[in-house]
Amino acid sequence: MKEKTEFLKREYEQMKKDGLTWTIRGLEGPSKAHVMVDGKECIMLASNNYLDLANHPKLREATIEAVKKYGAGAGSDWSIAGTMDIHQELWDKIAEFKGAEAGMTYQTGFAVNAGLIPQLVGKEDVLISDELNHGSIIDGVRLSKADKMIYSHSDMGELEKCLKAADEKDYRRAIVITDGVFSMDGDIAKMDEIVELAEEYGAMTYVDDAHGEGVLGDGHGIAHEFNLGERIDFEMGTFSKALGGFGGMLAGSEWLIKYAYNTSRSWLLSAAFPPHVAATNIAALELVDEENHRVKHLWELTDYFKKEIESLGYDTGMSETPIIPAMIGDSKKAQELANRLYDEGIFGLAIVFPMVARGKARIRNQMNAGMTKDDLDFILNAYEKLGNELDLI
């Protein structure tokens, strides 16, 4: 090993000792409710594939047909020569799906937050952000030259204080940024109150709907859930979760879209995603309505699992969506529980520091519309047995 890069090994080993490294488990075959993981059949509790669309025949078919028609790659950045008609068709579909004037795609959801946020507010502005916002928002915030204010999680009193303070300082622009569904806890932003307060103080609103699309608002996301229509200024999301595809999306006014693709560096300086990805995503948006029973089933599973795991004695924290954590506290214990669940044929993920605060380790259980009630009973039995054995309940 070269001396100048020896730090890689040294620092990795330290992280490992602290229990902060990822063990990457390998899926053999498609992501669905029942998966093969490192040679073992498991029920999937750790994916974001809420509607079980990732391996849906319609998505597979749409993908294959697009490969036949358009080939494998887009050949360029969207900004230069990579925008194909099928990408534009997807942009229109996003607008329709979100009930917005216009829509567009980014390479990923991460690329929306990292690329757009710094363009919306600069030196003379202020950015107000929930403390539990996703890491990609945090990176977008870091890239912005605006002043920053962080409010305690979903604390509307504190949000109002920030807005007031911002108002008194005469900033040029203010923006409130929040996750729609908080990814580690599964609770929902108080979007109606946030929009109300922001309007009162003349601040813009930006919501990250990554875990809301396909889940909230009959599958159409948080703006539909709260009936907010175009009152949310900036709505971004991802195709890589409930929708089973890949890529980031943005919806809003016609001027937002024109502004976004002319200024976001992540968009301008990076390749278009392949045309077959656009085809997959179009099929996914259509399926949310065509097979709306998936959304309903997802919520039936959610209600059942949450009620039953709580009655076993587990704390599910603030959960109100298909993200239903079992709060454990100690990270070593959470990791041990995850390993024991795997032995039972259940793939659940232990979430530890720095993804969540120290002492707040948990197993993040995520529902999948491909599951049955029997699957959940199997999982709940394992939670009961292991909870007693490990002295957790």
Question: Of 211, 220, 276, 360, which one is the catalytic site residue?
Answer: 211
Residue in 70, 78, 91, 110 binding ligand PLP, rule: CB under 6 A? 110
Decide: is 316 part of the binding site for ligand PLP (CB under 6 A): no
Q: Could you tell me which of 300, 270, 319, 289 has the C-alpha nearest to residue 376?
A: 300
241 is catalytic: yes
Site for ligand PLP in 161-180 (CB under 6 A): 179
Shortest distance, CB of residue 110 to ligand PLP, whole angstroms? 4
Site for ligand PLP in 217-246 (CB under 6 A): 238, 240
Q: Could you tell me which of 265, 261, 236 has the C-alpha nearest to residue 250?
A: 236
Shortest distance, CB of residue 16 to ligand PLP, whole angstroms? 25
Name the residue nearer to ligand PLP (CB basis): 260 or 337.
260
Residue in 31, 83, 105, 108 binding ligand PLP, rule: CB under 6 A? 108
Q: Which stretch binds ligand PLP (CB under 6 A): 6-14, 104-112, 369-377, 383-391?
A: 104-112
Decide: is 115 part of the binding site for ligand PLP (CB under 6 A): no
Question: What ranges make up the beta strands (E) of the chain?
Answer: 34-37, 40-44, 102-106, 126-130, 147-151, 174-179, 204-208, 234-238, 248-252, 323-329, 346-347, 349-351, 361-366
Other beta carbons within 10 Å of 355: 16
Decide: is 368 part of the binding site for ligand PLP (CB under 6 A): no
The rounded radius of gyration (Å) of the Cα atoms in the chain is: 21
Shortest distance, CB of residue 136 to ligand PLP, whole angstroms? 4
Kindly state the helix (H) or strand (E) to which residue 26 belongs, with its residue range.
Answer: none
Q: Which residue has the tokens 């307060």?
A: 197
Residue in 208, 225, 233, 291 binding ligand PLP, rule: CB under 6 A? 208
State the sign of the Cα–Cα–Cα–Cα dihedral 178, 179, 181, 182: negative
Decide: is 136 part of the binding site for ligand PLP (CB under 6 A): yes
Measured CA distances, 46 to 43, 66, 82, 366 (Å): 9, 29, 34, 6
Query: Phi, psi (5° rounding) for residue 72?
Result: -95, -35
Decide: is 266 part of the binding site for ligand PLP (CB under 6 A): no
Which residue's Cβ lies closest to ligand PLP?
A: 109
Decide: is 364 part of the binding site for ligand PLP (CB under 6 A): no
Decide: is 274 part of the binding site for ligand PLP (CB under 6 A): no
Shortest distance, CB of residue 256 to ligand PLP, whole angstroms? 18
Query: Phi, psi (5° rounding) for residue 178?
Result: -145, 150
SS3 9: helix
Question: Of 56, 87, 220, 241, which one is the catalytic site residue?
Answer: 241
Query: What is the rounded distance in angstroms from the CA atom of residue 268 to the CA atom of residue 261?
Result: 7
Measured CA distances, 90 to 55, 69, 74, 239, 249 (Å): 20, 16, 14, 11, 10
211 is catalytic: yes
Residue in 44, 51, 210, 376 binding ligand PLP, rule: CB under 6 A? 210
Query: Phi, psi (5° rounding) for residue 207?
Result: -120, 140
From residue 42 to residue 61, the character string flagging contacts with ligand PLP as x (rule: CB under 6 A) and all else as - is --------------------
Active site residues: 183, 211, 241
- List of residues contacting ligand PLP (CB under 6 A): 108-110, 134, 136, 179, 183, 208, 210-211, 238, 240, 248
